[in-house]
Structure 1
C-alpha cells in the first residue's frame, strides 16, 4: 500500500468510527424516549436494560451505517481539502478516484458486511427485543408508596401509607383494603406502622404490621339483611401473600416471529407460500361468486354442466319473458325479494373470503419489503459514500459544522423518500421493488453528478467562491447604481437650467 493511501485511510477510519457511535447514540436516545414510560417504575435490573439496549442498537445499525458513511466521507475529504493536502495530491497527478481507492475498498467491505448484519443479526435482535418488550409490558410496577396516596398496583388490594421513611422504609399510618377473598368478604386493616415489601424472587408480598386493628365484613347471598362485621386488634401481624406479575417473566422469542425476524431465505419461502395462498384465496372468492350467484343461469358467460349449475326457480318466469313488467305484482315482489337475498348472500360470502385474502396480501407485501430492504442496504451505503466524498472535496470544510448540516439534509431527504416508498409498497399501490429502491434511483444521479463536479475541481459548494461572486456582483451593482444616479443627476441639472431660461425669457 502506498504511503498516500495509508494517509487517506488513516484520515477516514477515525471519523468513521466517531460518527458511527455518534449516530448510534442519537438513535438510541430516540429509542429510550419512545419506551421510557414502559421502563420506568418496574424495578428492572441493570442486566435486563443492558440486554434490551444491546438488541435495540443492533436493530439500528442498518439505519446508522449510511448516515455514518456519508458524514465520515464529508469530514475526511473536507479536512484534506481544508489543509491543502487534497490539492497537493491532485498536483502530483492523482485523480479523485485514485485518491479514494482505498476508501472505496473499505466501504465495499462494510457494505458486504452490512448485508450479513441485516440478514442474520438484525432478525435475531428483533426477535429478542420484541420478546423483552412484551415481558416488560406484562410486568407490574414495583411497590412504590407515596405519602397520603393509595397504591393500586396489586389486584384486589389498595394500600395507603401516611409516611415512608426513606432510609429504613418504615411505613406509618397504614391503611389496607383487601378484597381478595373469593366469598366476597372484605378486610380493612389499620396499623400504626409496619413494613410491606416483595420477596427477593418477587413472588410473595411480605407484610409486617404493628399495633393495628382488623375489620372483616362478612358477605353472603343475603348480605343486604344479614351482613356481619368482625373486629379484633393485634400487636404484631405477619402475612405472606402470593403475588403474580411482579417477577420478570421470559417468554419464548420464537413466539414473536414476523417478517422483521426472518432472514432472506425464510422471507423468500414466505413470499412463495403467500403468493400461492393469495391466488387461492382470490380464486375461492371470485369463482363461486361468479358461478353460483351472478352467472348461475347464464350458460353463455360461464357454461356449466347441469350437475353443477344452481337452479334458480324463482327466475323462471323472468327468463321466459325477459321482463318482469308483465308479471303480477305479488310475483314481482317475490322475484325482487329473492334477488335481494341472493345479492346479500353473495356480498357476505365475498366479504368473509376477502378478509382472509387481505391479511395474506398484507403479509406478502411486508415480506417483499423486508426482502428488498436487506438487498438495498449495501447499495445505499455505497451511494452515500459516493455522495459524501465528492461533497467533502468540493466544500473543503472539515470538523462537525457544515458537514453535519449537509449530511442531515441528505439523510432526511433519503429517509422521507424511503418512508414514502415503503408506505406505498405496504398499501400495494407500488411494487415492493420500486418502493424500496426509489431512494437509490434518485440519489444515484446525484452521486454521479457530484463525482463529476469534484473530479473537475468545481466550486459548486465552495463558500469562498460564492463569497467572491457575491462581492463582485455587489461591486458591479454599485457601479451601475452610481452611473444611474449620475445620469439622473445630470438630467435633473439640465432640466433645471432649461426651466430657469424659460422663466427669464418670460
Structure 2
C-alpha cells in the first residue's frame, strides 16, 4: 500500500501542487484513495506472502518433516485455504460496499474543494481551464487565494472560436458550500467581443465592441455530478455503484439503447422511403381460386372466361399504346425490350435532378447515421463498463484464492525464502496478472472483447498455472524437469543418426 500510495501521489501531483491546499485535505484525499488501491495491492500481497511463507518453510525443511510425519501438502495448506476463502468473501464485500463509498467520497471532496476553494483550479502565470473558459492571473492572495490580480479571460463559442476577451486589474472569487454558483467579480477592466453579423458590409463597419466596466459579475454554475462524470471520466460513474445498482442500471441502459436504435431505424426507413409495407396476402381468396381451377369448366364458363381474357387483352393493349404515346416525346421506346432502369423514363434534365436529389438524400442519411453511431458508441461503452465493473467485483474476490494456489506451491518448489528471489518471482507474476487486466479492461471498454471475458481473463490465465503448480508441488517435483527434455532430444538425434548410417 505504501508503494502504490506513492504512485498515486505522482499521478495527482499536478492537481494539488501550488493550489493552496493544506496537508489535512491532501491526507484525507489519499486516505479515501486507499480502498480503490486494494484492487492492485491485494493480489500482489497474496502472491508475495504465499511465496515467502512456503518458500521459508521449504528452505528450513519443514515440509520434509511434515511429509515424514504423514502430513501432505494439502493438509498443511488447509488452514490457509480456509483463511483465503474468508479473505475472498471479505474482498467481495470490500469491492461491493467500501470501494463505491470511497469513490463517492473522493468525488464529493473534489467538488467541495471547487466550491470552497475555486482558486485551486487556477494557476498563476499560465492559462487554466476554469468552467468552460481560459483564465490567467498574475497573482493570487488573501484568504483561500480568492483575490486575483491582472485577470485575462478568453471565452469561446460552441464552435470553439475565441470571440470574447475580458481584461481586469483585479478580481475576486466568491463561493460557499450552500450555493451551487461561483461568482467571479471583476473590477476596472475592458470587454472585447467580436460582432457576429450576417452581412459582410456590417461586419466591416462594426467588427467588434469594446466596453469599459468598473464592476463585472460573472455567475458560474458548478456542473452536476452526472453531467460532470459523462464529460470528464465515465469510468468513475460505474465504480460508485454496488452490485444491485449495477444490475438495475444495466437493464435500464440496455432497454434505452434498444429503444433508441429502434426509433432511429424507423426514422431512417421513413426518410429513405424504399421499404414500402406489403399488403397481407388473402389466403381465403387464393384457396377459392385454387378450388375453381381444379373444377372442370363448362362450356358457358369457358366462353365467359374467353370473353374476359379477350377484354383483358384489349385493355392491356390500350394501356400500352397510351404509355408509348406519353413517352414518345421524351425517349424512343423499343416495343420488344421494355426499360429495365427507372431513370430512363425521365427526360435528360429530369435525370440530373433525380440523381442530385438521390445523392443529397443519401449523403444526409449517412451523416445522420455517422452522428448516431458515435452517440450509440458512447452509450454502448457505458453499458460495457457496467458489465465489466459487475464481474470485476467477483473476479477480484476469486483472484485472491487463485493467486494463493499459484504462490504457495511455487514457494514450496523453489525452496527459497526471504526478500530475494521470491520477491522477483512474485513481482513478475503480478505484472503478468496486472497487464493482462489492463489490456483486457481497455479492449472490453472498446468492444473488442466481451466485458465478461475481459473481467475474468487474468483469473482464467492464472487458474491453469495454479493447478499445474499445485500438482507439481504435491508430487514433490520441480516446475520443469529439464533432464527429461534433454534426454528426449538425445534419443531423437540418436535415432536420426542411426537411420542415416543405415
TM-score, length of structure 1 as denominator length: 0.62
Q: 1:134-179 CA distances to partner (integer Å, 9 max, x unpaired)?
A: 555784259999xxxx799997864599xxxxxxxxxxxxxx7689
Where in structure 2 are the equivalents of 1:98-497 lying within 5 Å? 98-133=75-110, 136=113, 139-141=118-120, 158=138, 258-293=237-272, 295-297=274-276, 302-303=277-278, 321-323=339-341, 324-325=343-344, 327-460=346-479
- C-alpha displacement of 1:321: 4.5
**1:38 matched to 2:57:** no
Compared with structure 1, are the counterparts of its residues 253 and 43 closer, same or farther at alpha carbon in structure 2 (3 Å cutoff)? farther
- C-alpha displacement of 1:285: 2.1
Distance 1:355 1:254 in 2: 18
Distance 2:412 2:261 in 1: 56
Compared with structure 1, are the counterparts of its residues 253 and 427 closer, same or farther at alpha carbon in structure 2 (3 Å cutoff)? closer
Contact persistence 1:152–1:158 (CA under 8 A): no
Q: 1:46-65 CA distances to partner (integer Å, 9 max, x unpaired)?
A: 32112111111111112211
RMSD in angstroms over aligned alpha carbons? 4.5
Distance 1:254 1:289 in 2: 29
Contact persistence 1:123–1:260 (CA under 8 A): yes
- C-alpha displacement of 1:188: 8.4
- C-alpha displacement of 1:66: 1.2
- C-alpha displacement of 1:343: 1.0
Where in structure 2 are the equivalents of 1:37-116 lying within 5 Å? 37-116=14-93
Distance 1:406 1:61 in 2: 21
Q: 1:269-325 CA distances to partner (integer Å, 9 max, x unpaired)?
A: 11111111111122122233235415245xxxx4269xxxxxxxxxxx99x944224
Distance 2:106 2:75 in 1: 43
Q: 1:344-371 CA distances to partner (integer Å, 9 max, x unpaired)?
A: 3322333343343222211101000100
Flag the structure with more relative contact order, 1 or 2, with Cα contacts below 8 A and sequence separation at least 6: 2
- For 2:119, what is the secondary structure of its paired residue? coil
Contact persistence 1:131–1:250 (CA under 8 A): no
Gaps of 5+ in 1: 1-23, 162-175, 190-197, 204-215, 220-241, 306-316, 474-506
- C-alpha displacement of 1:251: 9.2
Aligned length in residues: 366
Distance 1:67 1:435 in 2: 20
Compared with structure 1, are the counterparts of its residues 177 and 40 closer, same or farther at alpha carbon in structure 2 (3 Å cutoff)? closer
Contact persistence 2:104–2:240 (CA under 8 A): yes
Contact persistence 2:96–2:243 (CA under 8 A): yes
- C-alpha displacement of 1:338: 1.9
- For 1:458, what is the secondary structure of its paired residue? coil
Compared with structure 1, are the counterparts of its residues 35 and 186 closer, same or farther at alpha carbon in structure 2 (3 Å cutoff)? closer
Compared with structure 1, are the counterparts of its residues 295 and 33 closer, same or farther at alpha carbon in structure 2 (3 Å cutoff)? same
Where in structure 2 are the equivalents of 1:1-40 lying within 5 Å? 24-40=1-17
